[in-house]
Structure formats: C-alpha cells, structure tokens
Structure 1
C-alpha cells in the first residue's frame, strides 16, 4: 500500500494526527500490512502481539460473560487502533477481535513496538495518552448507559454508526454491518424485547427500518435530535 494513502487513513484518528512527525514516521516504517477476511484477528485469551490499526473494512470487538453471552460489542472503523493496552501491560487482550468481511490491517509487532516506546519517554507517553483517550470514551459511554433513556442511547449509536459506516442510497442511509437486533441490544445495554420495541417505534415514526443484518436511516435529523436529547432515564 502507498505510504501516503496509509498515512491519510491513519490520520483520521485524532491521536495519530497529533503525533510528532518523527513518531508518526517511525510507526509507518515499523508496521506491516495484513489482510483478514471474515476471520479472527485475536481472541480474548491471546497473549499480546503488538498494536493494530484498521486501514479498511470493519472489525468487531466482543467480550463474553461467563454464561457465554456477549456483554460488550463495538465496531471499529478505519483509523482505529486496537490491542494497545495489552501491548503496554502484557496481559491478554480481554476481548475478541473479528474482521467483518475483507479488512486491511496495519500491524506493528510486539518486538518493534517495544523497541519504539523504549526510544524515548515521549514515544511511550504518546501511547499512554491513547489508552487515556480510550478510557475517557469508555467512561462517557458508561455515564450515557446509566443515565439516558434506551431510545436516546439507540439513536446515539445509530448516529455514530452512520457517520463511520453509513452508505447513502435512494432509500436512505444504510448501515450494513451484519448487525442483528441482539447485537444492537448488547451495544446499548438492553434486552431483546426492549430493542425490538425501540426499533419498531423508529419504524412506525418513519425514522429508520431494520432488515436482516442492516439498518436504514430515513430521517437522519430525527436520529440526531434523539441522540442529543438530554432527557434522563427515570
């Protein structure tokens, strides 16, 4: 892959875009392109193997409860980095990463990653800042999950997915990520009956419709209004 194209994709991530040029160039020099096609990139129990950035396609990040049910689900978009926490602390990943369809990955091996962060405290601190960014986002999502109504949480997730993965068609903005109703339920922290009720409500209001493994948003303005609502869950 052309280095300029790769750099442009990685700069979609604010963290990478804000790196010192010397560090950004070193990352580009040390990494290698990998391809995945409907395959497991790593499992929750795997040992660390460096850091990975998504160049194209989608990656599903999932963790499971002791009963085997999914308890967390996130879809990564191009420019996103995964595996950083494990690369730094040496522990297993803690979640599965699975490529949805064809995905292009940029992989910096553990050996090269450690050599890089050992070059200077500035380089090490840069990756710590990435973990801090991830933690802040996680905390914000937890606050939203605990305090906002399920319909507003669903609208926010649909807005996020539409911005990163939406495809404009004559019928509306299509989010085609092989997401089932159960997947959406896990993403916003509700049960199967609740997500079914919420999706039917959006469909009755002409805002969005669901089909097998896809969602079509017909009224993005309505989704944005619901997403920005401050109404708390009683």
Structure 2
C-alpha cells in the first residue's frame, strides 16, 4: 500500500476517526488487489470475507432481479469500506460487489480481522459504527422517498454518482436509477427529461452527462423542486 492509498483511507470519516494505532493494526495484514472491470469482489449470499475498502476506481453493490438482471444498490468510490455487516454477524453477504472499470481494493481477510479485534476489542465498536452509518444512510433514503420530490432525489443521486466516479459522465441504466430512488422506470425517464430541459444533464444511451454540476448539486440540497 502506498502513502497515497493511506491518504485516501484517512480521508474517510469512519477510518479517519480511529486512533493511529488501531489504523495501523487494521492495515497490518491487509492486502491490495487490482481488480479488472467486472471483477466480482464478493458474492451475494456468500460467506463472510472480512473487510474491504476502495483505494481507486469504483465498486458497485448490486443485487440480482427476478428477471435475471442486476440492480445497483450503491456506488462506492475511493475511501469507502464494505463487507462489514457479514464480517460482524457471520451471516451471508447481502450484495454482489463488482468493480466498475479498473479498481484497486484493500482486503483484510476474516481471520485477520478477527485477530485484530482480539488484540484491540474496541474495533468491534468501530465496526458497529460503520454498519450503523450504512443503516442510517438507507433510512435517510427511505425518509426522503416519502417527503422529497423525485427531481430533488434524482439530482442528489446523479451529483453523488458523478462525484464518486470523478467524471461528468454517469454510467447508470435508467432501471438502476429507478431502483436507487425507489420509483418506476417511466417515472425516472420523465424526471430525467425534466432535468435535461433545464440544462442540467444530457441523456445518452447507457449514460447521463452532467452539464451543470453546480445547479444539479444545489437542486439536490433543496426540499422541493
């Protein structure tokens, strides 16, 4: 792992809040993996596999649909950790984790994670905070779906995806956007066209180009469209 990798990890709120000694313990036996685009880093229903963090590139958490397709649940960029729930409760993985484009991922195996926690048991509390952060974020999305207009939620999701991917091009199917926001595909299609008319985005096949990121982010921070 390079000094630049450590800087990426320390910029994350969860990891950055740890004492330096616990950070060092967590990283001591971790290994860096280069993942090709499309590489599956964990499998939905698979066994606990320790803790992982994105160092570079993008990782998407996806689940299969009854139609045999994959639906995106979350987009993870550099500094984001995943795998914590199964690592703590011993249950199966809840999503596939797939590299979207070339990525570099840090992996601390389950036995190594448990060895670190045996040496510093406060790590279990830290992992609980990591899991709680994911849960709080998901609850916020549910609450927003009940109280905020679709355009506001869509703008926030697109701005976040562009920021995570480090590009003005968001490569998400409309079906994925609909699933992430909790609406139907026709509804998301109509909302995208409204944003396009306002000059914030341009819709293309398999991609959405962000034309005015500042206005898009501002709309995502509002309570009404």
Unaligned runs of 5+ in 1: 168-173
In the alignment, the residues of structure 1 paired with residue 70 and residue 105 of structure 2 have an alpha-carbon distance, to the nearest angstrom, of 24
Q: Is the 8 A contact 1:70 1:186 kept in 2?
A: no
TM superposition score normalised by structure 2 = 0.92
Count the aligned residue pairs.
Answer: 224
Corresponding position of 1:217: 210
Corresponding position of 2:190: 197
| Aligned-partner SS, 2:104 | strand
Corresponding position of 1:170: none
User: Relative to structure 2, which stretch is displaced further, 69-78 or 210-219?
Assistant: 69-78
| Aligned-partner SS, 1:101 | coil
Superposed counterparts of 1:55-204, under 5 Å: 55-66=55-66, 68=68, 73-167=73-167, 174-176=168-170, 178-204=171-197
C-alpha spacing 1:46/1:192, structure 2 compared with 1 (3 Å): same
Corresponding position of 1:226: 219
Unaligned runs of 5+ in 2: none
Matched, 1:18 2:27: no
Q: CA deviation at 1:104?
A: 0.6
Corresponding position of 2:8: 9
User: Relative to structure 2, which stretch is displaced further, 62-71 or 99-108?
Assistant: 62-71
| Aligned-partner SS, 1:87 | helix
Q: Is the 8 A contact 1:45 1:94 kept in 2?
A: yes
In the alignment, the residues of structure 2 paired with residue 123 and residue 225 of structure 1 have an alpha-carbon distance, to the nearest angstrom, of 37
Q: CA deviation at 1:6?
A: 1.7
The C-alpha deviation readout for 1:61-91, integer Å capped at 9, x for no partner, is 0123555465652111111111001001100
In the alignment, the residues of structure 2 paired with residue 29 and residue 213 of structure 1 have an alpha-carbon distance, to the nearest angstrom, of 40
In the alignment, the residues of structure 2 paired with residue 62 and residue 100 of structure 1 have an alpha-carbon distance, to the nearest angstrom, of 11
Corresponding position of 1:44: 44
Corresponding position of 1:171: none
User: Relative to structure 2, which stretch is displaced further, 197-206 or 86-95?
Assistant: 197-206
Structural RMSD (CA): 1.8
Divergent runs of 4+, >3 A: 64-72
Q: CA deviation at 1:182?
A: 1.5
Q: CA deviation at 1:223?
A: 1.3
Q: CA deviation at 1:141?
A: 1.4
